[in-house]
Structure 1
Amino acid sequence: MMKTALEGAVAIHFYRPSPELAPYVSTYYLTEVNLDQDGSVEDWLHPEWANLRFTAQPCLSSALGNAPLQALPETIFTGPTSQSAHFVIEGRARVWGVGLLPAGLARFVAAPASDLADRIVPVAPGGPLAPFVRIGAKVLTGKRDPAGEAARIDGFMLAVLAETRPSEEEARVRQAHAALINDDTTSVADLAAQLGMSSRSLERLSLRAFGFSPKLLLRRQRFLRSLAQFMLDPSLKWIATLDCQYVDQAHFVRDFRRFMGMSPSRYGALEHPVLRAAAQARAASAGAAVQALHRP
């Protein structure tokens, strides 16, 4: 395989949370970019659950969907997404992330998931994201220390856990999450039956806890199962990656355009210096190539 100009410039490290945090946090992850000051890496992130990201100095520009790129502050929160996130990381940069599972969003963030869905929000005092305001100051010391930083993130999140209470719906949210990521769950009616809920009650729970309707979430899971296969093995043709729930390739292409804002062929032709490295590292560390396939 021909080497690209960016090969070796990006490193991704994943760390698992303490057992007490496992129902709420998927992983902690560090993206390191090692380029000249005027260099940058660009990529397109697939839909995910919520994520907190922070760095010591501004180096990240991003936008959801087809919106123009915007420079972001040091600490940001991205709600659950149903669109691709286009991003650029500049120079020599280190960006930490905390992946929040749906139960974690419900426990740590004082807002329904639907209020934060498909949004990138600066973390500021006094709002629903207030518990995360000081995470950068508590974790980053100016010295490169990935394992130590991961341990401090874990300590920070354990303190937030101790200061918060589980939501009244936490057990139901975790049950719904497990059913949602089950490959055998094929329809909203099937999901409602597994949970013993009416379709209307399921719709309300889905918006509050997951940010989107159950129909869209099932469609997103089907799409991400296919995309994950390609990210782990880019030599595959798209037809070889299709989830068994797809009727044909045209069905998959419609979903691809809906979630990524481009065709599969265009996406496949682009370099993915961050996402390919992340898929391999995440699969090895956490057992799933993308966050939304992570089993709670």
Structure 2
Amino acid sequence: MTVGESVSGPQSGTRVATRFFPVSAALRPYCSIIYLTEVETSPGTRVEDYLHPEWANLRFIDGEPSFAGVGGAKPEAAPHFVVTGPTSKATYFAAGNMRAWGIGILPAGWAKFFALPAEDLADRFVDGTKHPAFAPLAPLAGRLRQANDVGTAAQMLDDHFTGLLVGAPRDDPAILAAHGALVDDELTSVAELAEKLELSERSVERLSRRAFGFPPKLLIRRQRFLRSLARFMLDPSMSWIETLDYHYYDQAQFTRDFRRFMGMSPRAYAARAKPILGSAARARAAAAGEAVQGLHKPAG
């Protein structure tokens, strides 16, 4: 069932639509949401946007070639089955006429479904058809293309990942506990995280890199930034000073974080058109409870 849908027309002759499909109860600890993005534009033109830092995503893209680059890297052609690991930097994305199905993978889901550390794919993407960890999922592209309607296709994705739970490794309760702590806006330090998990800081560091892709200090900083960014995405009329998370000392500290995570100043970002992410924020919040995937709470 579609709970959230956004449609935008950033320029004449262009239409961007994103639909969101909540995952089933069995998948909520492991996946954030299923989504379909469609771009219709005049031949030879592309819409451009910047994806926020987030957890991992799998996308199955049909249509004209898309281009992507993480963290200022030179954009390159995105594979039709693209797997992006967890990111701590914005991802530039340019798309012509295309249709892309996607599913967000939470840290517990990464550990559940894929036998490689999240750190191995942090801030980068790979061709899922060529990587041994993801190649078994490649046939989904053809099946999604042949689905009779979007509801059937969304259910197909949900059913496939639900099926992967059978025979998957047992959950690591420390991953779910760490994720729950990271989305708690009261958390301010690695020491607090270690205390909550009843682990040493060294053990938390290892867990964080393996399941979340980054050191815990960076993740805490990223979450603080995303809380502020999400407020702006839900209400772009707000000034940046109004969006600041209360853990920021001042706007200068926020500006430094903004440049670190988005690769540009807050002012430059506010002035940019956001044809894909802009209109989708409120729809995503309605469907999944959060405007950005990085704030998604595990288990719904």
- In the TM superposition, structure 1's runs of 4+ consecutive aligned residues that sit over 6 Å from their partners are none
CA contact (8 A) 1:24 1:102 kept: yes
> Which stretch has the larger CA shift, 60-69 or 245-254?
60-69
In the TM superposition, 1:1-296 aligns within 5 A as 4-5=10-11, 9-91=15-97, 93-124=98-129, 127-141=132-146, 145-167=149-171, 170-296=172-298
Alpha-carbon distance, 1:159 to partner: 2.1
| Aligned-residue RMSD, C-alpha | 1.6
Distance change (3 Å), C-alpha of 1:104 and 1:267: same
Query: Secondary structure, in 3 states, of the residue corresponding to 2:18?
Result: strand
Deviations 1:214-251 (A, max 9, x none): 00000000000000011111111110000000000000
- Deviation of 1:129 after TM superposition, in Å, equals 1.7
2:14/2:42 contact within 8 Å kept: no
Q: 1:16, 1:28 within 8 Å by CA — same for their partners in 2?
A: yes
Q: 1:142 to 1:176 in 2, by over 3 A?
A: closer
Task: Give the counterpart letter for 1:35 in structure 2.
Answer: T
Identical aligned pairs, as a percentage?
Answer: 50
Instruction: Determine the C-alpha separation between the residues in 2 that align with 1:138 and 1:160.
Output: 17
**Distance in 2, Cα, partners of 1:255 & 1:295:** 22
Q: Which piece of structure 1 moves more, 111-120 or 58-67?
A: 58-67
| Letter matched to residue 57 of structure 2 | N
Q: CA deviation at 1:56?
A: 2.7
TM-score of the superposed pair, with normalisation by structure 2: 0.93
Mapped to 1, the partners of 2:160 and 2:13 lie a distance apart of 33
CA distance change for structure 1 residues 277 and 8 in 2, over 3 Å: closer, same or farther? farther
- Asked if structure 1 preserves the Cα contact closer than 8 Å seen for 2:14 and 2:39, the reply is no
Seen in structure 2, the aligned counterparts of structure 1 residues 126 and 187 have a Cα distance that, compared at 3 Å, is closer
How far 1:257 sits from its partner (Å)? 0.4
The Cα offsets for residues 92-149 of structure 1, whole Å up to 9 and x where unpaired, read as x111111000000011111001111111111125612233221112222175x22111
Query: Deviation of residue 4 (structure 1)?
Result: 4.4
Unaligned runs of 5+ in 1: none
1:106 match: secondary structure: helix
Is the alpha carbon distance of 1:7 and 1:285 closer, same or farther for their aligned partners in structure 2, counting shifts above 3 Å? Answer: farther
Could you tell me how far 1:67 is from its partner in structure 2?
1.2
Specify whether residues 249 and 64 from structure 1 end up closer, same or farther in structure 2 by C-alpha distance, changes over 3 A only: same
Residue by residue over 1:29-71, the C-alpha shift from the partner in whole angstroms, topping out at 9 and shown as x without a partner, is: 1111121222321001110000000123453210001111111
Q: Which amino acid aligns with 1:276?
A: G
Aligned pair in 2 of structure 1 residues 68, 126: CA closer, same or farther (>3 Å)?
closer
For residue 115 of structure 2, what is the amino acid of its counterpart?
A: A
Q: Give deviations 1:62-86, integer Å, cap 9, x for gaps.
A: 0001111111121010000001000
Indicate the SS of the match to 1:140.
Answer: helix
- Name the CA shift for 1:26/1:6 in 2 (closer, same or farther; >3 Å): farther
Deviation at 1:160, TM superposition (A): 2.0
- Give me the TM-score of the superposition, normalised by structure 1: 0.94
Name the SS of the counterpart of 1:13 in structure 2: strand
> What is the one-letter code of the residue matched to 2:166?
A
2 CA distance for matches of 1:51 and 1:35? 24
Distance 1:44 1:73 in 2: 18
SS at match of 2:165: helix
**Counterpart contact for 2:36–2:102, Cα < 8 Å:** yes
